[in-house]
Amino acid sequence: MRQLAAATLLGITMFAPLGAQSLDGLWISDGYGELAEIHGDRLSVFEITAISCMPSLSGARNPGAASGRETIFTLDGGQVHFLPGGSVDHARVHFDGAVSDILLHRVSSKPRACEQKPENTPQENYAIFWQTFAEHYPFFDLRHVDWRAVDKQFRPQVTSATQPKELFHILQAMIEPLQDAHTGVFARGIGRFNGRRPDPNHLDGDTWPKAWEIVGSTYVRRDLQSFCQGHVQFGMLQDAIAYLRVDSFNSYARGG
């Protein structure tokens, strides 16, 4: 589970070109629970906790896209940029579309959890799921959820006889009270659950255009100004009140 808050680099630092530094070896992220392993042109990423080390993404160096200060890997269809981080033992990673970077530091060996592949059992899958949230989800207090109490409630329900669909619904029930749209459970052949916050003014998808038409024709003075491929619009209401409409958080540029 990739975390949502990223470290922000402040100030200006002079860096040696990353091409002059060898990226070969192991890198662990500050936060996020990510382990990157680089050998030549190959990059492998693992999601790690105190009890697990799960393969996540893999890709290859993209020499045609590299610049003097960065090395670029194509990773499962997207691009990830490795940037210098102040020394040969530090780097920054930027994923296309992300608003900030992930900080990495070199390590000499993989965590102990990587020494043995976990068993694919209901109990082990549950344990890794719970541990991943315990280590990397930052908003339990904000959501008023006691994650240890959740564990006491649900762990006894998972046995060797628990079927995949049953486990899916248990994992869903664990995180549903978070009401967080950036959490979810996906299982091939079973389904997908996406967390969401209750909307007191919920509109179905086909109702939104009608609501926008009413706002535009009744309340907005003059025409709305449109930006970002039409996904961001701005106008003025009466009494110098500004109106901002954002209908998407992506596809702001052609091909994006």
pTM across the whole model:
0.76
Same domain, 177 and 215: no
**pLDDT one-digit tens code per residue, 3-59:** 333 332 222 233 344 444 688 999 999 999 999 999 999 999 999 999 999 999 999
Same domain, 109 and 129: no
Q: What is the mean pLDDT of residues 68-79?
A: 82
Residue 206, pLDDT above cutoff 50: yes
**pLDDT one-digit tens code per residue, 167-203:** 999 999 999 999 999 999 999 999 999 998 888 787 8
What angle separates helix 122-136 from helix 147-154, to the nearest 10 degrees? 170
**pLDDT band at 66; cut points 50, 70, 90:** low
Same domain, 170 and 106: no
12 within domain boundaries? no
Same domain, 79 and 28: yes
Q: Give the span between the Cα atoms of 217 and 201, in whole angstroms.
A: 21
228: domain range? 208-246
Q: How many domains does the chain have?
A: 3
**pLDDT one-digit tens code per residue, 99-110:** 889 999 999 999
Q: Are 100 and 90 in contact (CB under 8 A)?
A: no
For residue 241, which amino acid is it? I
pLDDT of residue 209: 87
2 within domain boundaries? no
User: Of the candidates 77, 98, 115, which is a domain's last residue?
Assistant: 115
CB-neighbour burial class of residue 40 (10 A; exposed 0-12, middle 13-18, buried 19+):
exposed
Q: Are 167 and 159 in contact (CB under 8 A)?
A: no
Q: What is the mean pLDDT of residues 77-93?
A: 88
Q: What spatial distance separates the first Cα and last Cα of the chain, rounded to whole Å? A: 23
User: Of the candidates 115, 143, 167, which is a domain's last residue?
Assistant: 115
Residue 255, pLDDT above cutoff 90: no
Q: What is the mean pLDDT of residues 210-226?
A: 90
Average predicted confidence (pLDDT) for the chain: 87
